[in-house]
Structure 1
Amino acid sequence: MLKKSLNKQLKVFKDKFNLSEEKYEEYHQQLKIIKNLFDLDDYDEAEKELQSLIYRKNEFYPAIYEIIRKSISPRYKSFIYHIKDNRIEKTSNKIGNAFQKTMPKSRKRIFKTTRGVLKRIYRRDLIWNDNRKKDYENQQSF
């Protein structure tokens, strides 16, 4: 969710200051480097790198540094604590974890109810059965 939020903040900045596509791509490349820090496997290394972002102001475009200062630096430990404690999931989206798929907000809302989950399971079962029928019909006998 953090990465998506960072992308959205950059897009808002692009629209606000009417950046060209080239300039936006340069900004996005810097942001991608920062987002990759959240995928590190070692907690101490990730913490050290994220802390150092705050002191490397001259290496980043002002808009990127502003995103670092406002969005990342106040809560960076909570963003990486899942590395240290295996009981914490990387994402808080339990529905996405259950179905191993990213879904639009409207679909997620449906699955928050028992009825919605049961309906999803029922439909997946129908689709599975339908696919098996097609496989059976398409089989050639020798």
Structure 2
Amino acid sequence: MIRYQHGEDAALGGVDITICLTPQEAAALRGDTSHLADWFDCLLYALTLLRTGRSTRTKVMTNVAGHPERDITLEDLHTLINSLDQGLPPRLQGTRDSLVRLHHHMGGTLNQLATAMGVSKSTAQSRRNVLTKAPRGIWETWAIKGAHRRAKP
């Protein structure tokens, strides 16, 4: 479940996004929750930076006219690129790949898979075949067992 607080009710006056987990979900995710939340925060920050052309999190500087300004720094970009290149994508792909394997194992049809993926039946079949013919990858293992647990082959 996700809850939102807007405006004056939000900590910084914008919007607070709270992701509520059941005890079972929290136990299954263990320490991965903080990293995933941080990477999601980086995604929102990156979109804000790109859409406004300004950083909302770096030190406030004064421009020539004496107005406060927050310039985008290379450090901002390094952090965002790192998180959005090495943090989220492999985990999202591993999670998706695990779900595709599970869908196949449970007898899901190619039509159902194609619809879920938003692709043609032949593309869904090709993607599923690549997965089912190969051993589970490191990020699929992560999706199933988490960072601190090992998956069975």
Range class of TM-score, shorter chain: under 0.3
Choose between structure 1 and 2 for higher RCO, CA contacts under 8 A separated by at least 6 residues: 1
Q: Computing the radius of gyration over CA atoms, which structure comes out larger, 1 or 2?
A: 1
